[in-house]
Structure 1
């Protein structure tokens, strides 16, 4: 079982309802949004999904990008700010290859493909019962929860951040989570495309001092045998080249990254220690049957030392917001990162 924290519109629902492209692999869904974790008697972290359903971003959701989500939406759903087709159905951008000839847009105005604005609001939503999801796991409502083997942090980054990075240890993983930055999306409601720090993807939800939240994560790491803690990884499905082309196909192909993560959890795959964390070699990612350029894969797994060095002042400014309350371990981790990058 894995848990993942991404900012809104960065692929949480797609990951939770993943249809693996690796032959013989299946994935089941516990939830796509909130997970509450506590220690079990065996010292491992167990997670439950406290929600009854899904509240997903509709635009971009289709049978090609998230088949299980589309199959969930057949009944008992609430649609917010989508378009309404002439025959009484809903529609949003990316749902089908061909848009309807006419519809009523999210503002209640007549719409055609020639209209200036989108038919659905970029943050249009669907609300659906989890019980209708084809991939829902039998244990999704088990009050005991499920044991978490890996925690994934991630965001939407065009440059710098590799496809997947393993933290050196729990403390380093907390540092990675505390420095998460992502391009703003429609779900953030302002300045789409610009960068903002969103530690642990909790910026809209953290109801107390973030520095205390970081300290809580660090305390969790000391509460059990380190070998019982989930491994922490940082993923980025959204790297692009200079022309804006995505380097990684994403969606179901992300199962190939999860395979490496599971192998790392089981001690069955090698990794290379770098300044920013542990990275897979290109050969460690299962690309059988995947049409990807070797140079693109190498770029996805390289350390952009120059880009990381350029981010150090931004991270220092981010940390400065928390003043004396910032846990000293995180400042040390930043200094260590800067020193490692200087050595490269």
Structure 2
């Protein structure tokens, strides 16, 4: 989630037809049907849907304070590699100058942008999944890790690591929240003591939830690698299954066992690290809380557009829920 102040200044430019001069200006870097760009959503990035010769595409851009160009270039290089290995992923469309990433100066700041074609398929909610689909979900993540395990590219260094996640926590969480800071200290020590091997760690997706996947019959197409980072592969399992374990981790849950069964068909899973899944889920919750703290940088006593006031209230409620969860952990 980007800072709400950043979201507000850009989304204020969107008119009643869903068009924005900022998006139009950025999109000039790519071939497109003039006037076709429509607002789609704002979250971690700004996303607009548009047409190019009858084809549906997405423009994604972020302010330079949110993502560096090097980070995004590393993400695009990974996507192109995965596509070359036969995985169904959203691959970038090159701009008019032949690059995957465009940096554009605007009146509202500097933005880094990419374009993707639309992935076919349907989104499925977790409550709708059959045991066989949980297996497919797990197998797809296992196959992804099998691919990133052998991925070698110098650009990888531009992506974050689990240490950067904890730095985000320390920078975002107020110093007057000692219990949360103590949780960060505990997890830092815990993770620092874990073994790091070529088999149990590497680039992870970072947000392998169902809303970033599309079902194409019995296969899964993947997109939104914006959170990819270097970590233990088991962390990706935690990020993926956080909705399944919303009220607590149950390693005997039938859906979880199906997911792990599918995963292990494609890649080996460290059993010791698997036993630490509850702790990795604590890490996930801590990171989400820190991101919410960072994002809610607007005060509630100002006159904002209705959508912004509503979103601010929703994020504040989520933030309080995550904080309550963190404070409930025994010291």
TM-score (ref. length: structure 1): 0.28
- Give the structure with the larger helix fraction: 2
